[in-house]
Amino acid sequence: MTSRVGFVAIGRNEGERLVACLKSLGAAAKGPIVYVDSGSTDDSVARAVDLGADVVRLDMSVPFTAARARNAGAARQRDTFGVDYIQFIDGDCALAGGWIETARAVLDANSDVAAVCGRRREIRPDASVYNRLCDIEWDTPIGDAQACGGDVMMRADAFFAVGGYRASLIAGEEPELCLRLREKGLKIVRLDADMT
């Protein structure tokens, strides 16, 4: 039986970037797509609905964090779709072709691996020195890792067993979650494959 992968995209006022993100998810594999919106004032929600995403709108009376958005999307995946793995992605990123199959195969074969991530690339690394620095920073070592970034495929049961992302953190929520996963004896693995 093939493990079920669900997608959680998060964003706010991403516009065309969100459209590209959601289209990349639809092309990558069959699986439920949840888009979590953090108070967009553009047409992001309407575009996500048009592309078939299940939309979660965060309560605007509570401060927005990426952790809170990812947790809300993961909860929707669990409660509505019951997936085995969750591919998290930021709404300004696009999924690389072949990533889902590669990541799923590693999780299927290694029950002690909680999360897998791959190479994140800047779309236009030569546009500025800042773009180039981001692209260099995202080229992390291959193999067992201490942490991952926001774009990652996680084993759903492991994610929920440790309580997901710490929603109160406005930054650094990914390494903090990975620390709790590793404390449970689980691994985070950086694969030698393009991811986003």
Reported confidence tier of residue 151, pLDDT bands at 50, 70, 90: very high
pLDDT(143) > 80: yes
pLDDT tens across 88-142, in order?
A: 999 999 999 999 999 999 999 999 999 999 999 888 888 999 988 888 888 888 9
Contact 36, 70 (CB under 8 A): yes
Q: What is the mean pLDDT of the chain?
A: 94
Give 167-191 pLDDT, tens digit per residue: 999 999 999 999 999 999 999 999 9
Q: Quick one: which of 119, 130, 68, 73 has its CA closest to 96?
A: 119
Tell me what the mean pLDDT of segment 17-30 comes to. 89
Give 106's contacts (C-beta < 8 A, 6+ positions apart). Answer: 113, 116, 189, 191
Q: What span, in angstroms and rounded, lies between the C-alpha atoms of 196 and 190?
A: 13
Provide mean pLDDT across the span 8-35.
Answer: 92
Can you name the CATH fold of 5-194? Spore Coat Polysaccharide Biosynthesis Protein SpsA; Chain A (3.90.550)
Closest CA to 47 of 77, 75, 23: 23
Which amino acid is present at 164? G
The rounded distance, in Å, linking the Cα atoms of 65 and 67 is: 5
d(CA 91, CA 12): 8
Instruction: Report whether 159 contacts 74 (CB < 8 A).
Output: yes
